[in-house]
Amino acid sequence: DADVTQTPRNRITKTGKRIMLECSQTKGHDRMYWYRQDPGLGLRLIYYSFDVKDINKGEISDGYSVSRQAQAKFSLSLESAIPNQTALYFCATSDPMGQGAETQYFGPGTRLLVL
């Protein structure tokens, strides 16, 4: 079974709709992240959480919100989707301790199309 899972894997929605992308992990990591990836722009950080009570904005948080329901679950919401939020979204986890600290473990991604 995959250590980091994302649902849905693909989503088509319309402008103005609210949608939620979900991420679950079985790695036992405290740190979780949401990234979006666009051609030519690489991976950009949307939000990150270092533990259940800690939520931080990344470089492109406008138009997004998150919820850390438990150590293993981190959800990303688009309150009112717009076409320029069309992208590939990745959830990731990391463990800050020990050798290999901050290695990012990525989920399979969610491909989102906003019409």
Partner 1 sequence: QKEVEQNSGPLSVPEGAIASLNCTYSDRVSQSFFWYRQYSGKSPELIMSIYSNGDKEDGRFTAQLNKASQYVSLLIRDSQPSDSATYLCAVTEGYQKVTFGTGTKLQVIP
Q: In the complex, which residues of this chain contact partner 1 (CB under 8 A)?
A: 33, 40-43, 45, 48, 58, 90, 94, 96, 100-104, 106-109
DSSP 83: G
The 3-state DSSP class for residue 42 equals strand
Q: How are beta strands 54-57 and 4-7 bridged, if at all?
A: unpaired
Task: At 23, list the tokens.
Answer: 């991420």
The amino acid present at 101, given as its one-letter code, is A
Judged by beta carbon, residue 44 or residue 73, the one nearer partner 1 is 44
User: In the complex, what is the shortest distance from the CB of residue 82 to partner 1, in angstroms, rounded to a whole number?
Assistant: 23
Judged by beta carbon, residue 16 or residue 108, the one nearer partner 1 is 108
Phi and psi for 89 in degrees, rounded to 5? -110, 130
Judged by beta carbon, residue 48 or residue 64, the one nearer partner 1 is 48
User: In the complex, what is the shortest distance from the CB of residue 112 to partner 1, in angstroms, rounded to a whole number?
Assistant: 14
